[in-house]
Every structure is written in C-alpha cells, then in structure tokens.
Amino acid sequence: MSTAAHDERRGRHKVVIVGGGFGGVQAAKALKGADVDVTVVDRTNHHLFQPLLYQVATGILSPGLIAPALRRVLKTQRNVRTLLAEVGEIDVDNKVVHAAAPDGQHLDLPYDTLVVAAGATHAYFGHPEWAEHAPGMKSIEDARLLRSRILGAYELAEVSDDPAEQQAYMTFVVVGAGPTGVELAGQLSELARHVLPREYRSIDTRKARIVLLDAAPAVLPPFAKKLQRYTKKTLEEKGIEVRLDTMATDIDADSITVKGPKGEERIVARTKVWAAGVQASPLGAMLAKATGAEVDRAGRLPVDPDLALPDRRDIFAIGDMVSTIDRLPGVAQVAMQQGTYVGKLISARAKGDDTTPAPFQYFDKGSMATIGAREAVADVRGAKFTGWPGYLMWCYVHVMFLIGWGNRLGTLFNWVRSLRYARYRGHRLISVTANYDTEQHSGHPPEVVEHRAEVDPRTAPGRTAAS
C-alpha cells in the first residue's frame, strides 16, 4: 500500500481530481497558482478529445493527435501532479480516494476537497451482451477496435468467394443517429464510395450497405428541425439508409434484428456500431450511496447549483456523470465550464473567501456535427449553417479545442489532405493479421489465404497493434 507521497507542502489544502477528461483538466487548470496541492488521477495516461474518435475509427487521424499525454497537458502547473491509476472506492468519511496503479499497487489519496469528473460509459438498455457484437466509441482502444473491424471487414469480403458472405461483410449498421452516429455513418459512406473503390479487385466497395437507425423520429434529436431535415437528406444522398422510429431488438455476431414502422427485420451485418445510450460512471452510484443521494436512470449524480454534492462542501461532481437542476446535455462544453467554475471556487476558498458562490450557469456556444467530408450542420446562438460554411465552422471550432499546436497543425494537415487529394486516408493500420495454419490447411497450396484472422485486438493477444 502506498500513500503516493510527493513533494506536497505540509499542511497545504489537498485537492484530488478523479478523471483527466474535459471537466477534470479544466478544473486543474483553473487551480493554477492556487495555494493548494492538486492530484489528478486517471486510469489512462492521456487526455482524450472524444468528438474526433470517429475520425480515428475511419482512418483520417492517428490516435496521438487527439490524445496527448495528460501529464504533458498539465506539465506547467507546479502545484499539480498526475497519477495513472483507477479509482475503485471513495471513503467520504475519512476523505480518502482508493485507487490501483497498473501494477496493482494500492494508492491511498487523502483529500480536503474532491472533484469527481469520471464521465460516462456505454449503456445497452439492459443488454450488456450486445457490447461484444456492437462496440461503442468512448476510448482510443474502442476507436482502434472499430477501425480494425471496419477495414478488416473489407479485407475479409475481398478474400471471400461467396456473394452472400461478401455482402454480410460489407453491411454496416450504426445504432443511434445522434451526432456520433451521424458522423460515423457519413464517414463509412465516404470510405465506401470515395476512398476504397479503386483499391479492391473482387469487391465493389460502392455496394456497401450502410444503415443508420434510431428509435427517435428524427436524426440529431437536439438540433433544429431545419438542420435535422438537411442532415437526413444529405445522409440519404450519400447512400445511407436512415431508419427512424426503429430500435434494435437483438444483436449477435452475424446480424442485428430491428423493429420499426414496417415490423421486425433481421439485417445480416458483420459490423455493428453502438452510438446510442450512455450511462454515468459507476463512481456516481458509489458516491450517491455514500452520501445518501439518489442517481437518475442514467446513473447520474444530482448536484447542487454550486456543483457540490447535496450537504457536502468538500465533494464536487461535474461533467457527464452529473444531473443538474436545469438538465444540461452531456457535452464537452458543459464539462469544461463546470470544471472551470469548480476550480475557481476551490481557489477562492483557499484564499479565505467563504461567501456563497453564485450558481453555475452554462453558456451555450452552439452545437455542430459533420455529415461528410465537406458537409456539416451548425447551430451557433440561433444562426443555422449547413454545407461548406457549416463544415468550415466545425473545422475551426474542433481544431482550436485540440490541445497543443502540433496536434492542431497535424490534424489540419490530415483534413486538407483528405479533402484535397481524393479523400486520402493516411491512418489505416489495423490489428488484423493473417496466419497460415499448416495443419488446418494441409493439402492446400500455401498461397491460398483462408485463415480468418481475429479482428478484435482485445481477444487476439499477441497480434500486431495498430498505431
């Protein structure tokens, strides 16, 4: 057991921040120069820009561009240290966070003030078994797995001589037509129609079937109706089947069964992607139990207007894992603004300012989503943009929110390259290798490639990892 001691100044106020995502990093930054010792603990070593995960999954960007090392992001703040460990328990009575380092070493992190910003994970509406067949996108590993599944499916279609099997490999179903589902479906179409066609000899990738389904009656549910109509029309022009009022009722390795206005249908598809429900981090339920609060159906923890837990001045919770009175959406801007608010509040208290803070107020800067290489929708404080103007706005906002000029320039370079030069995709390494099994294929000429390699890097130990 370790207390993970470091050069904390004796007696200084200790702040522990759980989670180095959008909320956690902003909270740490707002504590710059404050007379406190800050520990940011995260189970990954990077700060992930989730809005661009779909671009890693479809070969546009390399993972490093959207996931800089967390300790580098916070390196200039002398009062902050960063620890790679997973938080498993929080002892609110004794004010200690219990975590485990990657080697299993137990860490006890005492705090005076705790900020929990552990985000959310996928929710499969009571069907956790669907996760294996329809992975979601929350982490870099998820995006790399998806990239392997998507590009691996075309490889397997190319070596198949059975048209039905080829079609099964070339059918992609995305569940959930929110921004993530729309953006991913759009890029699947770009891949099939513009990026891959000239590279294969046995298959015509333009015949790929891409289905985007949602139980809601419209795509991009939170957006204005005009933008929803434009998005649906553009998706359909890109050859995507948009199925609304339609929900998944069963998912297995080979297919997905859906129920919509025309009844139930089984779609044979090897690649399914989950972009539907989310569930708050389990730390939310743990804190609720310890403090007598009650989480909502999505596992979100209720917080007071100053983002503290009810009746607790020493514990704040922010971002995707909380529900506020005004029911703010689970988006990066909310988490970032909440992080800044809480950081400033703790900083003020460290200076002796004990006045009751003004409640947190969200400033909505707008929402946007891409549909394809040059199409996007943007709603910026009431002004609606579509097509190129929307796309340029989307590019500007997203590139400016990336951390570090190197990552911004690298991302811009990849975007210009993918727009200008035949929608080139420079990051297509996948975790699929073909192994020739001599015993299985004895009698076959060695040049016949029949081995179907495992496409899930997490179930294929020892296979080459993608970049």
Ligand X SMILES: Cc1cc2nc3c(=O)[nH]c(=O)nc-3n(C[C@H](O)[C@H](O)[C@H](O)COP(=O)(O)OP(=O)(O)OC[C@H]3O[C@@H](n4cnc5c(N)ncnc54)[C@H](O)[C@@H]3O)c2cc1C
Stretch that binds ligand X, among 201-209, 257-265, 328-336, 349-357 (CB under 6 A): 328-336
Nearer to ligand X (CB atom), residue 83 or residue 195: 83
Nearer to ligand X (CB atom), residue 313 or residue 365: 365
| List 331, 376, 432, 466, residue binding ligand X (CB under 6 A) | 331
Residue 330 binding ligand X, by CB under 6 A: yes
Nearer to ligand X (CB atom), residue 138 or residue 463: 138
Q: Catalytic residue at 236? A: no
Distances (CA, A) of 253 to 176, 259, 271, 455: 19, 18, 8, 12
Residue 179 binding ligand X, by CB under 6 A: yes
Residue 335 binding ligand X, by CB under 6 A: yes
Q: What is the Cα–Cα distance from 179 to 41, expressed in whole angstroms?
A: 29
Stretch that binds ligand X, among 18-26, 89-97, 221-229, 443-451 (CB under 6 A): 18-26
Stretch that binds ligand X, among 32-40, 41-49, 351-359, 439-447 (CB under 6 A): 41-49
Interface map 92-131 toward ligand X (x if CB under 6 A): -------------------------xxx------------
Q: Minimum Å distance from CB 292 to ligand X? A: 21
Residue 53 binding ligand X, by CB under 6 A: yes
CA 24 to the chain's CA centroid: 16
Q: Minimum Å distance from CB 163 to ligand X? A: 33
Nearer to ligand X (CB atom), residue 4 or residue 118: 118
Nearer to ligand X (CB atom), residue 157 or residue 184: 184
Compute how many residues bind ligand X; rule: CB under 6 A. 33
Q: Which of 155, 183, 190, 375 is catalytic?
A: 183
| List 63, 176, 277, 319, residue binding ligand X (CB under 6 A) | 319
CA 368 to the chain's CA centroid: 16
Residue 395 binding ligand X, by CB under 6 A: no
Q: Minimum Å distance from CB 56 to ligand X? A: 10
Residue 20 binding ligand X, by CB under 6 A: yes
Task: Summarize as ranges the residues that interact with ligand X (CB under 6 A).
Answer: 18-24, 41-44, 48, 50-51, 53, 86-87, 117-119, 137-138, 179-180, 281, 283, 319-320, 330-333, 335
